[in-house]
Amino acid sequence: MGASPLIKVTDLGKTYDNEGMKTEALRGVSFTIKKGEFVSIMGPSGSGKSTLMHILGLLDRATSGEYYFDGQNTSGLEDNTLAALRNKKIGFIFQAFNLLPRTTVYDNVELPLIYDANTGTDNKQRVIAALKSVGIDHRADYFSNQLSGGEKQRVAIARALVNDPEVIFADEPTGNLDSKTGVQVMEILDKLNREGHTIILVTHETITASYAKRIIKILDGKIVSDKEISDKKRLLAEKGKKIK
């Protein structure tokens, strides 16, 4: 028998109730993701992909169905347990970077370690190692509002990496970047995946999605396809060509 999947969702549903008006954001979603995969969740605005990411990232709860993370059923866990699990095992990269503006690059990256009471005294080594892994260690003493968009996203990736999480979620990570800088960011994520990190990318952009090795397409809250990506398509993505 092989190892249990890192992520397993079964018949997942999410319904929002706004003053009696019910909206089904997710309907009967089921799939598994193994450790070390690079998966894109792709769909147009309003498809449910961001809702799904928030549930997978333990930022929100499903209305129905089951979600197992690293072999643990998350449904009955208390909020503080979910928060601890999220901080220790999950890294996030957002379109808007979500950096503290008048704070140094070093301090931004160190934040997850400060929130984790179990980290030791090796914070400095871990922060510098994370910054080096994305080529931004020379900016450690800069304030985040002194950086370019591409540099900010590198800092955000370093922050996501610093706790050595089980999985990194990237939500439209190239959305605020020009195409050249976007390619550089995707190459960093590709490198991290080749080093063994599990990456789950949420995007509506075909080229960005095709850096992954598997694409799950979602529409109207349902999965409409789940396919492996060929090496040829990934190569075309790296060259910035549109994938059909």
pLDDT value, residue 19: 85
Instruction: Write down the domain spans for the chain.
Output: 36-46+78-243
Residue 90 predicted with pLDDT over 90: yes
Q: Please state the rounded mean pLDDT for residues 26-31.
A: 97
Of the candidates 168, 199, 190, the residue with the CA atom closest to the CA atom of residue 91: 168
pLDDT value, residue 233: 62
How many Å separate Cα 7 from the centre of its chain? Answer: 13
DSSP string, 162-191: TT--SEEEEESTTTTS-HHHHHHHHHHHHH
pLDDT value, residue 63: 95
Q: Please state the rounded mean pLDDT for residues 187-194.
A: 92
Residue 108 predicted with pLDDT over 80: yes
pLDDT value, residue 202: 94
Maximum pairwise Cα distance, the chain? 53
pTM: 0.88
pLDDT value, residue 1: 41
Phi, psi of 185, rounded to the nearest 5 degrees: -65, -45
CATH homologous superfamily of domain 36-46+78-243?
P-loop containing nucleotide triphosphate hydrolases (3.40.50.300)
Percentage of residues in the chain with pLDDT exceeding 70?
Answer: 91
Predicted confidence (pLDDT) per residue in 36-88, tens digit: 999 999 999 899 999 999 999 999 999 999 999 999 999 889 999 999 899 88
Alpha-carbon Rg of the chain, whole angstroms? Answer: 18
Average pLDDT, the chain: 89
